[in-house]
Amino acid sequence: MRVLLVGGGGREHALSRSIAASPLLTRLWAAPGNPGIAEHAECVPIGVEDIPALVAFARDNAADLVVVGPEAPLTLGLADALAAAGIVCFGPSAAAARLEGSKAFCREVTSAAGVPGAEWARFDDPAAARAYVRAKGAPIVVKADGLAAGKGVVVAATVGEAEAAIADIMEARVHGASGATVVIEECLTGQEVSFFALCDGTDAVPLAAAQDHKRVGDGDTGPNTGGMGAYSPPPVFNDAMRDDVMNRIIHPTLAEMARRGTPFRGVLFAGLMVTATGPRLIEFNVRFGDPECQAILMRLDGDLLAALDAACRGRLRDLALGWSADPSLVVVMAARGYPGTPAKGGTIAGLDRAAAIPGARVFQAGTARRADGTLVAQGGRVLGIGARAPTLRAARDAAYAAVDAVEWPDGFCRRDIGSRAL
């Protein structure tokens, strides 16, 4: 198969590594890719939101399948444009991608489907939103309705914090047009779990679960980020819970989306809260998570490309994937200043030494190469340093040993990834 992978982050580096290992693959391109992805694919300088150029490239190069990593091109209609050109795409239509693109839409769908989740309300007027918060009290969750690169959610411990979040999102527009509407939700308590299922519009099969670390600092302190590390599988999430999530969350959502005429095809990422009464939905994403993707794909022993193709062609019932029982863990190394303004241009060395640690893998995200070949930081979350081992403690030890082999003065990471499970 000739495959075009859309994206250029750590998630796409993990996807490119797994796709490149498939015996089905004949050629792999990545748009735009990054220096790590270039080890597995031919990188082409096309931005992820340049829909016409992506479609033209896939058509001109006779791509058999386009695999979309990030959410933005999906919400912009890349899958629809590819379908109109007769090209198969792993990823939902723009209408189905609203499950992530609009938190209010997601809650409308899941409420209609009877999915267990948080009590919620939608507001277009900041004064009404503030009045609701005062009536409900805190803790409470304030979310920008649209996409905000994983940073549009504020878990407010006080009413004052919630009101400040409403002002930032709706009035200061710190997330742009995504904050024109907010969704305010009950603050669920328990352990968060990221769960992934492959969907073909009517059927779904479970992939794997992971636990992410959203806060920037050790001990879950500081602001939310796109994710500072993850591990898989989470001890709190057993097979019975997986089946419960499939039966009460994934399948009802697929049925409701099909009923609305917008069947969902691709990977459905359920952000869950495991509460005292069972798992409840926090939100849906319509793509692999980052860094969860790196963690779960380190455990995949089956053919990822065959699985993605089966989801696109309605053949999930015939799919058999193998998963290692060995746990995995990935630590994100971010640039100084993240999640605010990250320091860019700092040189990075030692990745070969990091990758040589037994069981370790290095995923590049926000990196670039200078003309002289020097690797430099070019983003906020820059590297994902992971490991798979017979125990989670051994995976954590290997991952941090690999982190310590990296030479990057501007980089930092959390030192407690996986501590809850351990």
Half-sphere exposure of 363 (CA within 13 A, CB side): 33
Domain count, the chain: 4
Compute the distance between CA of residue 55 and CA of residue 78 in angstroms, rounded to an integer: 8
236 and 352 share one domain: no
273 and 352 share one domain: no
Q: What average pLDDT does the segment 122-126 reach? A: 95
Q: At a CB cut-off of 8 Å and minimum separation 6, what does 48 contact?
A: 6, 7, 8, 31, 32, 54, 69, 70, 72, 73
Assess contact for 367 and 36: CB atoms under 8 A.
Answer: yes
238 and 298 share one domain: yes
pLDDT of residue 100: 94
Q: Is 199 exposed, middle or buried (0-12, 13-18, 19+ CB in 10 A)?
A: buried
227 and 146 share one domain: no
pLDDT of residue 130: 96
Q: Among 68, 91, 114, which residue terminates a domain?
A: 91
pLDDT in tens, 281-317: 999 999 999 999 999 999 999 999 999 999 999 988 8
pLDDT in tens, 127-141: 999 999 999 999 999
Three-class SS of residue 267?
A: strand
Q: What average pLDDT does the segment 8-19 reach? A: 98
336 and 312 share one domain: no
- Report H helices in 209-330: 239-245, 251-259, 292-297, 304-312
198 and 223 share one domain: yes
Give the β-pairing of 367-369 and 229-232: unpaired
Residue 35's CATH number: 3.40.50.20
Q: Among 284, 318, 352, which residue terminates a domain?
A: 318
Q: What is the percent of the chain where pLDDT is above 70?
A: 100
Q: Is 314 inside any structural domain? A: yes
CA angle 251, 280, 211 (to 5 degrees): 95
- Give me the domain span that covers residue 20: 2-91
226 and 312 share one domain: yes
173 and 237 share one domain: no
Q: What average pLDDT does the segment 162-169 reach? A: 95
- Report H helices in 138-283: 159-166, 239-245, 251-259
Assess contact for 43 and 37: CB atoms under 8 A.
Answer: yes
215 and 291 share one domain: yes
Backbone angles phi, psi at 392, to 5 degrees: -65, -35
360 and 403 share one domain: yes
255 and 151 share one domain: no
pLDDT in tens, 94-106: 999 999 999 999 9
pTM: 0.94
345 and 284 share one domain: no
Q: Is 398 exposed, middle or buried (0-12, 13-18, 19+ CB in 10 A)?
A: buried
Helix (H) or strand (E) holding 334: strand 328-335
Q: Among 318, 339, 355, which residue terminates a domain?
A: 318
pLDDT of residue 147: 86
pLDDT in tens, 367-383: 999 999 999 999 999 99
Average pLDDT score, the chain: 96
Q: Is 166 inside any structural domain? A: yes
